[in-house]
Structure 1
């Protein structure tokens, strides 16, 4: 009789344990911090001040970083659970395909060619190709670059487009990175730097350059920045789009723009509407 009581007790405990486990499994969400100690890997740039920059102390700053942090929070992750991974332009599609990162926020312009390989949420920023010049420069339009030294990074099409279509007498200078172009602008080695206005504003907003440069305010192209997601992951795209809409509606988007680009007097476009691509 005594043995039977122990058996019944043990069986009841086992059933209760299995029931609790089953309930816990039903509530588990791999995309939420409620799953316990989980991490989310997010692709960003490490070398673009104002957008995606790894600071000397190992922290990260920039508009893309702020957007990615906000989005990850809406997906259920705390800042401490976000692992930022450097994703250079040439490797962004592969990083998503391999599953190295969950999503990428890294001045990632939405194009028809890229949409063949990845899915995009957004856009979350509309940028334009522009010129950065010294604050006292008389360069105000692209045709003023004839006879001037124009800098962009090696392999970029920005400077070549200006040379081919607008200012054929511009003297092109190609450096290995935008930091070198900006240093050349400061020293007078070049007269202007060209790439996306958001990138130029990020550099100009650095403390060491405040007040030295200005954006020409040209709109030589439309760059719709989106958040890249692995092809076919519609659920994540929808969640990120909802997060971006909330970021705009609660004022966080505007605050992030002002914080990261404000010192450069960047005249940003209004927050774009989700799914609307400006050609």
Structure 2
């Protein structure tokens, strides 16, 4: 990927400084060959634009961020072991040591911070809605009243629209975001709601280019962080890597590469420790 060609070179000096102390699943303190060294990273496998497993490998914004961070910690791309981290499993995976860190649309919340630590945030997302590109009837959140709004089964995003924002949308439960997009495409639903970054990732897929648009509603703040085990010294090292990614332009390039086709109006890179409530 374009980003990785850039970051592989830019990470070299910093990586050499951290190699001796970086934590990884294959680095147990012995002096074994560097080829045996591994770091295990949790990502989503099924979120286009963010974390997706494909026949060619792994791709998405979270993947690019995690790859950059791993390289700054002293691990080349082929020393990364990717592990699927479903939303309900993330805290347990970190607590058990199944992964060294997780970058998987992982919103920083007080409840989660009781169990794990977070580096970042590295992206500020917002709950938004995706609508047809030619739909001019939904210009503000109140326009969702009476509309068919897609809710992915088990998701709280659509429920938030009615419960937290006091709107009166007609919730339609679909099993997956892809199914919601199909309903949006054929007119069965009027809008799909979740984090704007996730919506942008789906809308940026080649088969959907030009068909959908983000409404631009900032209904909630979702501070994406990189999860690590409670008390891990990786937190400080990852924060340094994230700051470097922003400083050298790799963060902006990752946004463009993964969300560009959806015209995602992303927030600027957040400052480390700046959590928007």
| TM-score of the pair, normalised by structure 2 | 0.87
Distance, in Å, in 1 between the alignment partners of 2:21 and 2:120 is 24
Q: CA deviation at 1:169?
A: 3.0
- The answer to whether the aligner puts 1:246 opposite 2:235 as a matched pair is no
Distance, in Å, in 2 between the alignment partners of 1:222 and 1:30 is 32
CA distance 1:192–1:81, change in 2 (3 Å) = same
- The answer to whether the aligner puts 1:134 opposite 2:132 as a matched pair is yes
Q: CA deviation at 1:39?
A: 1.1
Residue of structure 2 equivalent to 1:259:
257
- Structure 1, unmatched stretches of 5+, are 1-26
- The answer to whether the aligner puts 1:59 opposite 2:57 as a matched pair is yes
Residue of structure 2 equivalent to 1:99:
97
- Structure 2, unmatched stretches of 5+, are 1-18, 28-32
Q: Provide the aligned C-alpha RMSD in A.
A: 1.6
Distance, in Å, in 1 between the alignment partners of 2:245 and 2:92 is 28
Q: Is the 8 A contact 2:43 2:62 kept in 1?
A: yes
Residue of structure 1 equivalent to 2:178:
179
Name whichever structure is richer in helix by fraction.
1
- The answer to whether the aligner puts 1:85 opposite 2:80 as a matched pair is no
Q: Is the 8 A contact 1:122 1:241 kept in 2?
A: yes
CA distance 1:81–1:143, change in 2 (3 Å) = same
Q: Is the 8 A contact 1:96 1:103 kept in 2?
A: yes
Task: Say which one has the larger Rg.
Answer: 1
Deviations 1:136-190 (A, max 9, x none): 1121111111121001211222111112244643110111221111111111111
Q: Is the 8 A contact 2:116 2:228 kept in 1?
A: yes
- The answer to whether the aligner puts 1:112 opposite 2:114 as a matched pair is no
Q: Residue 225 of structure 1: SS of its match in structure 2? A: strand
Distance, in Å, in 2 between the alignment partners of 1:102 and 1:211 is 38
